Every structure is written in structure tokens, then in C-alpha cells.
Amino acid sequence: MIFEHNFIMGHLNYWLFIMLMMTGLFIVISRGNLIKKIVGLNIFQTSVFMFYISIGKVAGGTAPIFPMDMNINPSILYSNPLPHVLILTAIVVGIATTALGLALIVRIREAYGTIEDEEISLIEADEQKLETQSQLA
């Protein structure tokens, strides 16, 4: 059997990553509400954070802090700090992107009176139709 208990439990972080990513992607694709789309993007983003952080963890590894005397024991296994540092930057970018998206949604709500995709499309189509009719007249 290909999916044994040890295989599934040994790769639990990858299964959770896949479930969160697909949930976020589904929300972004299936929902018409712009706020729900932002929430879906945040779930998707969180799954990527979890993936990168789990890659940086080394079983039995210690924090990559060298001793003051720089007498480094080569038998010590260190965890990779790069994914964690990259995720700190990505979190800041994600917060800024979310704030910008929410600010745009506020402006869209002020302009169209709704935050639903289909209603905005219908309003745009009606405005386009009126503009075309006024140009022909």
C-alpha cells in the first residue's frame, strides 16, 4: 500500500500545506465577494509561509548561532535560518498587500455601492451600454 501510516504522519506538514493552499485557492476562485477573496488570498499566503518554515526546520538541528570564541564544532547540525528570514519579509509584504486590497475594496464600495463581482460587472456593462448609445446619438 502506497499511503502507509508512517508516510502520512511523516509528511503531515505537507498535507496541511496542500489542504490550506487548495482551500485558499478555492475561496479566491469560487467567491464573488471581494472581502472573501482577500481572506482566501491570506489563507493561501499562510500555507506558503507554513511550507517555507517547515523546509527550514532540520530534525535534530540547533539554532544557527555561533559561539563567541568562534570555535565551531563541525559535528553540530544547524537549522537553515534563510526561510525564516524570508517569511518575516513576506509577512510584512502580505500585511501591506492586504491593507491595500481592503482600501481598494472601500473605494469600490463607494463608487459602485457593492463589493460583489457580478454586480460590479453588470453596473460596468450598463455604463458601457449607455456610453455607446450616447455616442451613437
With b for 16 or more beta-carbon neighbours within 10 A and e for fewer, the 49-63 pattern comes to bbbbeeebeeeeeee
Query: Global pTM?
Result: 0.79
Q: How many CB atoms lie within 10 A of CB 12?
A: 10
How far is Cα 116 from Cα 23, in angstroms, rounded to an integer?
A: 20
Print pLDDT tens along the chain (137 aa).
Answer: 566 777 777 778 888 999 999 999 999 999 999 999 999 999 999 999 999 888 877 788 888 887 888 888 888 888 888 888 889 999 999 999 999 999 999 999 999 999 999 999 999 999 999 888 888 86
- Show the domains of the chain with their CATH numbers: 5-62+74-136 (1.10.287.3510)
